């Protein structure tokens, strides 16, 4: 039976960032994700914003972790070679009352050491945000807001963690956790293993996993957020991320941008019951359009080219990051909703601290591979570079996805790095995420996936079992 | 009884009123040319269609070769024609128009390839 | 960087007709760029008949229609064909950069004809509430899966849209052994040709629901059913008319969008609503010497019209080149 020093349950941004941090030390680490690929849970629907740290109430751990995480993320982005764009954000006020709330928010932010905050006036807004509604009277400018690709962030953490020795298992669901002091015997859908410490970072199911060891102190209630994407041609609609003033439950309907350049409007914030309901709704669309138009009046329904919904794993107002005294060695990292993505590296450090406080020796490795090699995306480099790439490897000249200019070589690399599904390839390469949404490239990608992994075409899935793309292959019908 | 139908012999698409007795056409009204009358009679008494489909190829440049019947076949034979085609395999190079099956299903039509395959 | 008289982008029916006509009108040095490994474009996957009724006065299948032009192109030595070639950049002075297996090439023609066709409107562009299960396909992709790859997209299908592509696929799926449960059309009548209603829908007794729209696609990993309702004059759901249709596949056939992102990159004026070039003269664009023909100029119902349109473009380009000397 395999034995790990630390087992991490959950392969989203929290689990993988913890794995990467722990992989600095001489530890046997195992990460277990129930979906077919990493990031297929909560993380894939994240809006990708690295928050400056304003709009978090004083006194909560998430507030401090957000500001710390903002800094750490920027340093890590360089190490792990991910595109992070520091675009800054504006919290926009439309009347006097909101204007005075801005001042409060600024004060709170400064107390939390959020850098660079300043209140800007109508004149500034007219110059720097020309499409913003002229009903806006002022805004709080927070320069340290940034955007990142949330699922690529997960892959970057996990690849680097794996490079440094962590073992990562997908399609592996934890079904039982038996305390066998010191440590646990963990039963999964693919076998049993032992671990000295277990970290529960399982997102929407954190309460159910915690129940497996008898800790029932919290429950996760999903809160749905619907998001709508606009065509990349509208990329310059805004220059900063635009926020209205926050309400009790959410930061409001925003006008932001994905790190791939699509303007995005949303999210809604609706408490739900079903942890699997990722449907978008007509009401959601209407609410989002209303909110978005308040900020940018020129937005209309015809600009929308894609939409999706995510579920925030809510367990009260704050993060739950603690060692559970009644089950020594079990650490809950639960209720990580916004600003979870931002806070991820800071959460990882906090968890390391907790592990250390509870007896785990953290001895640094002699050789820790800090960096991750950036993958090549044809659409992101100048044409002259493309030319030399092609000379080195003609696979780069074989274009599979026309809308996003993704080559067969990049698709094969994504598969080599762990993609096993059509969505996995989409998240890593952008192929199928362009204007035609896979209309032209789907068949080719299916064939490459089949060639590289040996899976028959009828077994190629969108995101794992039961989501196969086609039902029958004539050439295998005899 | 009177059946209404639209003639599809040309883009005009005349609406035809067809009198039918004992499964035979007794009168056709609304046709602007004799093709329409002919269409109505055939469509009621002996409906036929050109069948187009694909045949699996082995060892050739395409996975499937698109095919067609060179002339229409009776509508009632389409089902078994489709099954027959499903069981066929093509293994030699073809040009557009090459015959894959002479007297296909004994219906006096040819099954021909519509695309070149090497 | 090479110079040429004429470059035609797109080796489907539009590009082929344009290149052939240009050659027949005296243009000597023509490069025809096609991203696939064959000429023919979408015609290759249109195995059904209905092509050439006007142009050739014959009833042809898509591949047969394409074959006529492929033979013509091959017979003209002035037309050089570059397959597996993908245009990545176009500039306002007509300089074109394209990728080909093993290399990146630049060419600057005197005249340029863009014949880049259309893409399909997808589920993502028309908001249909629900999750994102597998089993939702643009109709053209379903056609390619069946006719080129021999893969059956699904077994119980609902088709959204009664345009020709939707109707043709209703028949194709049925012949391949699938069950088409319904065609849902929001308008009061079909947008497709009568011929297709008869031969694709009536022949197979497929229910068509006019004045209906799909309210939701159900299913998490795979499509499970769709909810449908009747709509009023304002396309709003009418109370009490909602019902579900169980299915494992949804085909979306709700319109085509001309592919003009390349010329947009070059600075050609584009009508934002139709995505077609703004044009004073047929086939011309706001940049002299850049022409557009076929479906990327205007979405046509028949390929015969595409051919005629592209012949005009070929002639116009030939004249432009003559005058430029």
A62-83 confidence digits (pLDDT tens): 999 999 999 999 999 999 999 9
Cβ within 8 Å, pair A465-C221 = yes
pLDDT, mean of residues A256-278: 95
pLDDT at C169: 97
Chains touching C (3+ CB pairs < 8 Å): A, B
- Candidates C10, C35, C141, C173, partner chain A, best to mutate (most A CBs within 10 A): C141
pLDDT at C152: 98
Distance from CA of A423 to the nearest CA of B (A): 26
- In three-state form (DSSP H/G/I as H, E/B as E, the rest C), the secondary structure along chain A is CEEEEEEEECCCHHHHHHHHHHCCECCCEEEECCCCCCCCCHHHHCCCEECCCCCCCCCCHHHHHHHHHHHHHHHHHHHCCCCCEECCEEEEECCHHHHHHHHHHHHHHHHCCCCCCEEEEHHHHHHHCCCCCCCCCEEEEECCCEECCHHHHHHHHHHHHHHCCCEEECCCCEEEEEECCCCEEEEECCEEEEEEEEEECCHHHHHHHHHHCCCCCCCCEEEEEEEEEECHHHHHHCCCEEECCCCCCCCCCEEEECCCCCEEEECCCEECCCCCCCCECHHHHHHHHHHHHHHCCCCCHHHEEEEEEEEEEECCCCCEEEECCCCCCEEEEECCCCCHHHHHHHHHHHHHHHHHHCCCCCCECCCCCCCCCCCCCHHHCCHHHHHHHHHHCHHHHCEEECCCCEEHHHHHHHHHCCCCCHHHHHHHHCCCCCCCCCCCCHHHHHHHHHHHHCCCHHHCECCCCCCECCCEEHHHCC
Digit-coded pLDDT (tens) for A17-36? 999 999 999 999 999 999 99
Structure letter (DSSP) for residue C216: E
pLDDT at C255: 92
Cβ within 8 Å, pair A439-C149 = no
Cβ within 8 Å, pair A399-C138 = no
Q: Which of C47, C194, C199 sits opposite B49 (nearest CB)?
A: C199
Residues of B in contact with C67 (CB under 8 A): 96, 114-116
Q: Are strands C179-184 and B15-21 parallel, antiparallel or unpaired?
A: unpaired
Residues of C in contact with B67 (CB under 8 A): 47
pLDDT, mean of residues A190-198: 97
User: How far does Cα A381 stand from its chain's mean position?
Assistant: 24
Of the listed ranges A32-41, A48-57, C223-232, the least confidently predicted one is A48-57
Could you give the angle at the alpha carbon of C58 between the alpha carbons of C54 and C61, nearest 5°?
Answer: 100
- Candidates C99, C122, C146, C223, partner chain A, best to mutate (most A CBs within 10 A): C99
Cβ within 8 Å, pair B63-C64 = no
| Residues paired with C246 in a beta bridge | C225
Q: Which of B13, B97, B116 sits opposite C194 (nearest CB)?
A: B13
Residues of B in contact with A457 (CB under 8 A): none
- Considering only residues B24 and A358, tell me which one the structure prediction assigns the higher pLDDT: A358
Q: What chain C residue is nearest to B53 in terms of C-alpha separation?
A: C47
3-state class (DSSP) for residue C4 = strand
pLDDT at B1: 86
pLDDT, mean of residues A438-464: 97
Distance from CA of A397 to the nearest CA of B (A): 22
Cβ within 8 Å, pair A439-C153 = no
E strands, chain C, are 2-9, 30-33, 49-51, 60-61, 79-82, 86-90, 96-100, 103-114, 118-120, 136-138, 151-152, 156-160, 179-184, 208-209, 212-218, 225-230, 243-246, 249-252, 256-258, 290-292
Distance from CA of A367 to the nearest CA of C (A): 39
Question: What is the dihedral sign for C-alpha A311, A317, A318, A319?
Answer: negative
Interface A–B counts its CB contacts (< 8 A) at 5
Distance from CA of C102 to the nearest CA of B (A): 22
- With a pLDDT cut of 70, the percent of chain B lying above it is 99
Of the listed ranges A239-253, A352-366, A394-408, B9-23, the least confidently predicted one is B9-23
- With a pLDDT cut of 70, the percent of chain A lying above it is 99
pLDDT band at A477 (very low <50, low <70, confident <90, very high): low
pLDDT at A12: 98
Cβ within 8 Å, pair A397-C99 = yes
Q: What chain A residue is nearest to B63 in terms of C-alpha separation?
A: A475
Cβ within 8 Å, pair C198-B6 = yes
Interface B–C counts its CB contacts (< 8 A) at 62
Residues of A in contact with B63 (CB under 8 A): 475
Chains touching B (3+ CB pairs < 8 Å): A, C
pLDDT at A384: 81
Hey, is the C-beta of B89 within 8 angstroms of any chain A C-beta?
A: no
Residues of C in contact with B116 (CB under 8 A): 67
Chains touching A (3+ CB pairs < 8 Å): B, C
Q: Is the pLDDT of residue C41 over 80?
A: yes
Digit-coded pLDDT (tens) for C95-131? 999 999 888 999 999 999 999 999 999 998 888 999 9
Cα–Cα distance between B5 and A368 in angstroms, integer?
A: 78
Q: Work out the mean pLDDT of chain A and round it to a whole number.
A: 95
Distances, alpha carbon C168 to alpha carbons C54, C62, C171, C251, C296, in Å: 19, 13, 5, 12, 22
pLDDT band at A232 (very low <50, low <70, confident <90, very high): confident
Digit-coded pLDDT (tens) for B51-83? 999 999 999 999 999 999 999 999 999 999 999
Cα–Cα distance between A219 and C243 in angstroms, integer?
A: 36
Specify whether the CB–CB gap between B88 and B112 falls below 8 A: no
Write down the H helix ranges in B25-112: 34-45, 78-86
Hey, is the C-beta of B56 within 8 angstroms of any chain A C-beta?
A: yes
Q: Is the pLDDT of residue B96 over 60?
A: yes
Residues of A in contact with B86 (CB under 8 A): 474
Of the listed ranges A368-377, C207-216, C234-243, the least confidently predicted one is A368-377
Q: What chain B residue is nearest to A475 in terms of C-alpha separation?
A: B56
3-state class (DSSP) for residue C18 = helix
pLDDT, mean of residues A172-190: 97
Cβ within 8 Å, pair C147-B66 = yes
Q: Which of C44, C53, C146 sits opposite B115 (nearest CB)?
A: C44
Cβ within 8 Å, pair C63-B66 = yes
Distance from CA of C213 to the nearest CA of A (A): 13
Distances, alpha carbon A17 to alpha carbons A24, A161, A334, in Å: 12, 8, 14
pLDDT, mean of residues A145-156: 96
Q: Is the pLDDT of residue A478 over 60?
A: no
Q: Is the pLDDT of residue B42 over 70?
A: yes
Residues of B in contact with A474 (CB under 8 A): 56, 64, 86
Cβ within 8 Å, pair A440-C129 = no
Q: Is the pLDDT of residue A258 over 90?
A: yes
- Take residue C71 and report the two structure tokens written for it: 């033979």
Hey, is the C-beta of A472 within 8 angstroms of any chain B C-beta?
A: no
- Candidates C221, C223, C225, C261, partner chain A, best to mutate (most A CBs within 10 A): C221
Cβ within 8 Å, pair C150-B53 = no
Digit-coded pLDDT (tens) for C137-182? 999 999 999 999 999 999 999 999 999 999 999 999 999 999 999 9
Q: Is the pLDDT of residue C188 over 70?
A: yes
Q: Work out the mean pLDDT of chain C and round it to a whole number.
A: 95
- With a pLDDT cut of 90, the percent of chain C lying above it is 89
| Residues paired with C209 in a beta bridge | C184
Q: What chain A residue is nearest to C156 in terms of C-alpha separation?
A: A471
Catalytic residue list contains A437: no
Of the listed ranges C57-71, C182-196, C234-248, the least confidently predicted one is C182-196
Q: Is the pLDDT of residue B16 over 60?
A: yes
Q: What chain A residue is nearest to B86 in terms of C-alpha separation?
A: A474
Give exposure, A448-467, as e/b (b: 16+ Cβ within 10 Å).
Answer: bbbeeeeeebbebbbbbeeb
User: Which residues does B69 contact at the CB level (< 8 Å), separation at least 6?
Assistant: B50, B51, B52, B81, B104, B109, B110, B111, B112
Q: Which of A301, A390, A464 sits opposite C102 (nearest CB)?
A: A390
Q: What chain A residue is nearest to C125 in terms of C-alpha separation?
A: A305
- Candidates B9, B114, B117, partner chain C, best to mutate (most C CBs within 10 A): B114
Digit-coded pLDDT (tens) for A125-135? 999 999 999 99
Residues of B in contact with A475 (CB under 8 A): 56, 63
Specify whether the CB–CB gap between A400 and A442 falls below 8 A: no
pLDDT at C221: 96
């Amino acid at each position: 039976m395999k034995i790990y020093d630390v087992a991490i349950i959950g392969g989203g941004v929290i689990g993988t960032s913890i794995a990467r941090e722990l992989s600095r030390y001489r530890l046997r680490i195992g990460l277990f994700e129930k979906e077919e690929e990493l990031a297929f849970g909560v993380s894939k629907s994240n809006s990708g914003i690295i928050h400056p740290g304003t709009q978090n109430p004083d006194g909560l751990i998430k507030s401090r972790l957000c500001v710390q995480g903002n800094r750490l993320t920027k340093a890590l982005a360089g190490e792990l070679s991910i595109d992070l764009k520091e675009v800054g954000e504006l919290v926009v006020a439309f009347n006097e009352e909101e204007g005075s709330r801005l001042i409060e928010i600024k004060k709170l932010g400064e107390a939390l050491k959020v850098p660079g905050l300043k209140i800007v006036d109508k004149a500034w807004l007219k110059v720097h945000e020309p499409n913003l509604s002229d009903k806006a009277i002022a805004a709080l400018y927070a320069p340290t807001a940034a955007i990142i690709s949330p699922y690529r962030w997960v892959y970057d953490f996990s690849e680097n963690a794996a490079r440094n020795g962590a073992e990562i298992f997908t399609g592996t669901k934890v079904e039982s956790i038996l305390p066998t002091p010191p440590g646990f015997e963990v039963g999964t859908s693919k076998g049993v293993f032992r671990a000295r410490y277990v970290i529960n970072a399982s997102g929407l199911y954190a309460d159910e996993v915690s129940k497996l060891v008898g800790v029932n102190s919290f429950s996760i209630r999903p809160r749905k957020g619907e998001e709508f994407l606009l065509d990349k041609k509208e990329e310059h609609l805004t220059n900063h991320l635009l926020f209205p003033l926050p309400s009790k439950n959410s930061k409001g309907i925003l006008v932001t941008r994905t790190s791939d350049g699509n303007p995005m409007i949303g999210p809604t914030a609706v408490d739900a019951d079903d942890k699997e309901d990722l449907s978008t709704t007509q009401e959601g669309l209407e609410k989002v359009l209303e909110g978005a138009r308040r900020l940018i009046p020129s937005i209309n329904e015809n600009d929308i080219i894609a939409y999706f919904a995510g579920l925030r794993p809510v367990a009260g107002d704050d993060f739950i990051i603690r060692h559970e005294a009644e089950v020594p060695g079990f650490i809950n990292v639960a209720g990580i909703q916004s600003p979870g993505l931002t806070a991820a590296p800071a959460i990882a450090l906090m968890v390391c601290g907790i592990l250390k406080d509870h007896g785990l020796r953290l001895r640094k490795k002699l050789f820790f591979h800090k960096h991750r090699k950036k993958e090549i995306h044809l659409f992101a480099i100048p044409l002259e570079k493309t030319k030399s790439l092609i000379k080195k490897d003609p696979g780069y000249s074989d274009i599979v996805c026309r809308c996003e200019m993704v080559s067969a070589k990049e698709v094969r690399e994504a598969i080599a790095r762990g993609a096993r599904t059509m969505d996995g390839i989409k998240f890593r390469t952008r192929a199928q995420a362009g204007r035609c949404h896979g209309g032209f490239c789907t068949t080719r990608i299916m064939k490459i996936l089949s060639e590289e992994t040996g899976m028959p075409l009828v077994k190629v899935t969108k995101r794992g079992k039961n989501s196969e793309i086609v039902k029958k292959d004539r050439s295998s019908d005899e | 009884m009177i059946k209404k139908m639209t003639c599809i012999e040309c883009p005009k698409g005349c609406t035809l009123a067809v009198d039918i007795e004992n499964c035979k056409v007794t009168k056709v009204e609304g046709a602007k040319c004799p093709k329409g009358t002919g269409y109505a009679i055939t469509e009621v008494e002996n409906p036929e269609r050109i069948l187009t489909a694909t045949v699996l190829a082995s060892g050739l440049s395409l996975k499937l070769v698109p095919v067609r019947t060179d002339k229409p076949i009776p509508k009632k034979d389409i089902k078994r024609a489709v099954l027959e085609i499903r069981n066929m395999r093509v293994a030699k190079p073809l040009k557009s128009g090459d015959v894959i099956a002479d007297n296909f299903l004994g219906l006096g039509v040819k099954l021909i390839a519509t695309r070149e395959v090497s | 960087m090479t110079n040429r008289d004429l470059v035609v982008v797109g080796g489907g029916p539009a590009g082929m007709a344009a290149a052939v006509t240009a050659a027949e009108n005296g243009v000597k040095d023509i490069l025809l760029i096609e991203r696939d490994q064959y000429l023919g474009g979408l015609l290759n996957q249109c195995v059904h008949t209905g092509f050439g009724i006007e142009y050739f006065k014959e009833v042809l299948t898509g591949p047969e229609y394409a074959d006529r032009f492929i033979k013509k192109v091959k017979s003209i030595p002035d037309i050089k064909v570059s397959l597996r070639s993908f245009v990545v950049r176009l500039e306002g002075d007509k300089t074109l950069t394209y990728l080909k297996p093993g290399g990146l090439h630049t060419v600057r023609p005197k005249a340029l004809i863009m014949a880049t066709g259309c893409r399909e409107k997808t589920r993502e562009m028309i908001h249909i509430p629900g999750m994102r299960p597998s089993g939702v396909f643009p109709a053209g992709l379903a056609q390619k899966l069946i006719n080129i790859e021999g893969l059956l997209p699904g077994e119980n299908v609902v088709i959204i849209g009664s345009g020709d592509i939707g109707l043709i696929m209703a028949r194709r799926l049925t012949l391949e052994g699938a069950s088409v449960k319904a065609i849902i059309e929001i308008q009061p009548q079909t947008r497709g040709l009568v011929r297709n209603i008869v031969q694709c829908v009536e022949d197979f007794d497929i229910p068509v629901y006019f004045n209906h729209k799909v309210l939701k696609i159900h299913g998490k990993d795979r499509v499970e059913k769709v909810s449908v309702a009747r709509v009023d004059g304002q396309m709003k759901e009418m109370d009490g008319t909602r019902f579900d249709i169980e299915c494992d596949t949804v085909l979306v056939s709700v319109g085509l969008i001309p592919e003009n992102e390349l010329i947009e990159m070059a600075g050609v004026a584009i009508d934002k609503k139709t995505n077609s070039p703004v044009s004073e003269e047929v086939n011309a664009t706001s940049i002299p010497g850049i022409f557009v023909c076929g479906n990327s100029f205007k979405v046509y119902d028949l390929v015969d019209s595409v051919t005629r349109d592209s012949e005009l473009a070929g002639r116009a380009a030939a004249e432009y080149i003559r005058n430029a000397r």
